[in-house]
Amino acid sequence: MPEEKQAKSIDKATLEMLDKAAEEGIATVFDRAEKMKPCPIGADGSCCKNCAMGPCRVPLAKGKEETPEEKKARVGVCGATAETISARNFARMIAAGSASHSDHGRRVIEAFKLMAEGKTKDFEIKDEQKLLKLALDMGVEIGNRSNNEIALDIANKCENEFGKQEGELLFIKNAPIKRQEIWRNLGVVPRGIDREIVELMHRTHMGVDQDYRNLMLQGTRAALADGWGGSMIATEIQDCMFGTPSPVLSEINLGVLKEDMVNLVIHGHEPALAEMLAVVSQEPEMVKYAESKGAKGINLAGMCCTANEILMRHGVPIAGNFLQQELAIVTGALDAMVVDVQCIMQGIKEVASCFHTKIITTDNRAKMTGAEYMAFDEHNPKESARAIVRAAIDNYTKRGKNVRIPNIKQPLIAGFSHETISYLLGGLFRASYRPLNDNIINGRIRGLAGVVGCNNARTTHDSGHIAMIKELIKNDVLVLSTGCGAMAAAKAGLMVPEAAKKYCGEGLAEICETVGIPPVLHMGACVDNSRILIAATAVVKDGGLGDDISDLPAAGAAPEWMSEKAIAIGQYFVASGVYTVFGTTWPTSGSKEFTNHLFKDMEEMYGGKWDFQPDPVQAAQLMIAHIDKKRKALGIDKARERVLYDMDMRRELEG
């Protein structure tokens, strides 16, 4: 029987634009993925190219048990074993992922410092309460000092977290006490963010660390330096400067583009420029300028995590998630795609060459051959943003006749910072996680799941996220989401309160309806996974559910992951005590021993562990089983039935 072709997406807007691309002979990521299969040796982590004696390939023969002799022979030219090679590759993914999140955090601090020093007037403190709380947490004097004086001290302290050579990262103290002890006992508390990443790169160089256990201790240090360091710093400082998110209504999918307006999509990860674009695109002079070119106004929309940032704080609509970036251009209605850093496919340039769309790079760390570079000047952010908006408006006049915008979009509610969750549940004057804890203890909410991460062209777009989330909420698991996973959920209509009645088990539906929240809470961009860590810690601190994150009936997943950042996130979740299951593909399959270390040993070390399950419904069942195990350990298990999907229900899901 011929192999059944995998559906490209479950999202109708995506499918419609893929048809348009096909009609016009335009290749996208979906076509390239079909044309080029992944290298099976590299996909399993069995290829080492860390020196010029290689690349060495040490693939594991599939379908039969390996003999000890065969295992012994599976080494690189230098003698590196499959275990070492696999661990090095995995560790380097962590290093790259942690570097990306952390360098994002560093840029945010730079802007924050300029603001504090009065060198830019366009940024300001938007959340004074959060600033003061940060000051208290970080030991910064408040007294009679101005906000900017306090902010400058905080900026300097945060900056120091990157280059610190000794001691412990400051935000480690945000974790439950017991967690901190576990880390100290294992010796994995990060010193400085940069130091841990550099040391990991050193240790994975040819001929350095050859013990996968030891390598992963450093991998964990670098990952924790991301989750409880770079990412957490980014989130906290962004909240001070741009405001802590609170519930906001918006819309998502390609249908947010408008035929009669200048369409400008901001794509990437960092919020500073996007914040300014959100402001200046509404300025009367700008709108007038757009009208002078025949447009009805300026329509700003987001893509990937920059989109999440400005959605959370301003309700700016989202055009789509990772795999939709080229398709926004295929509509023919996009006048400019403005990019900063991360997750930007080079393919957008080629697709844009078939239309009038201008690709504008704005960050000196991420330029693209053939695209126009318009530097974002942090000293003068508003002016930079105005120049970009003007360029988009000018380009509107070049829009061709070949325009088709799918008439598909969904409403969503976003803005669930951990502060918001406690206000919503506890009330403005007694904000607390108590009601959440009580409802977990009484079983209305079975547990919590973080479903996060990317899209991956090797699996049906959005399908993993949606199948997994529906299975979880059906079983009364409240889902916290970030990144492209959150966008998938929103597009499927799961981020409105009405979704509770339709998709949730009785207990969860009751809570959502009473509080007026959706069953899937949008917590922001991928750096905002740190919000999930803080929320989990708040649940621990509120009491009744153990004294560590690993005691909570909670689990994490990235069913469609693809980025190195996802591996860094996974490792800091595991090291923070969370059972974490990934889908699509597993990058250490070439070494059973090393995979065992991640899937088994880590549970003894950290109370959390990795797992891999490409079927999203089965993966959800693994998460639920883990949640039930934790409920039992806490003594709050009462007999409850697990809803299992039958084939009809699955078909309905996929249809």
Which chain residues interact with ligand NFS by CB under 6 A? 269, 304-305, 322, 343, 453-454, 483-484, 525-526, 563, 565
Q: Which residue's structure tokens are 């003068």?
A: 380
Least spacing, CB of residue 452 vs ligand NFS, in Å: 7
Residue in 221, 312, 304, 213 with CA at minimum distance from that of residue 265: 304
Q: Which is nearer to ligand NFS, 125 or 311 (CB)?
A: 311
CA atoms within 13 A on the CB side of 539: 26
Sheet strands side by side (includes 410-414): 372-373, 358-361, 336-339, 262-267, 298-303, 318-320, 248-252, 410-414
CB of 132 to ligand NFS, least distance (A): 29
Closest CB 172 distance from ligand NFS, rounded Å: 23
Residue type present at position 635: G
**CA nearest 300: which of 286, 292, 326?**
286
User: What's the min distance (Å) between Cβ of 486 and ligand NFS?
Assistant: 9
DSSP letter (8 states) at residue 2: P
CB of 167 to ligand NFS, least distance (A): 29
Is the Cβ of residue 269 or residue 349 nearer to ligand NFS in the bound state? 269
Indicate if the alpha-carbon torsion angle 373, 379, 384, 385 is positive or negative.
positive
Q: Provide the residue type at 471 as one letter.
A: E
Q: Considering the complex, what minimum distance in angstroms separates the CB of residue 271 from ligand NFS?
A: 12
Nearer to ligand NFS, 183 or 322 (CB): 322
- Encoded tokens for 586: 């597993």
User: Which one, 131 or 304, has the nearer CB to ligand NFS?
Assistant: 304
Cα 254 to Cα 262, 368, 464: the distances in Å are 15, 24, 20
Residue 305 or 508 with smaller CB distance to ligand NFS: 305
Residue 21 Rama label (left phi>0; alpha psi -120 to 50; beta): alpha
Least Å distance between CB 490 and ligand NFS?
13
Burial tier of 36 (Cβ tally within 10 Å: 0-12, 13-18, 19+): exposed
Q: Find the shortest distance in angstroms from Cβ 643 to ligand NFS.
A: 28
Nearer to ligand NFS, 358 or 565 (CB): 565
Q: Phi and psi (nearest 5°) for 58?
A: -130, 60
Residue closer to ligand NFS (CB basis): 325 or 357 = 325
Residue 140 or 193 with smaller CB distance to ligand NFS: 193
Q: Packing angle between helix 82-116 and helix 271-280, nearest 10 degrees? A: 40
Calculate Rg over the CA atoms of the chain: 24
Place of tokens 């661990």: 87
Residues contacting residue 110 through CB under 8 Å, at least 6 positions apart: 378
Which residue, 264 or 303, is less far from ligand NFS as judged by CB?
303
Give the shortest CB-112-to-ligand NFS separation in angstroms.
20
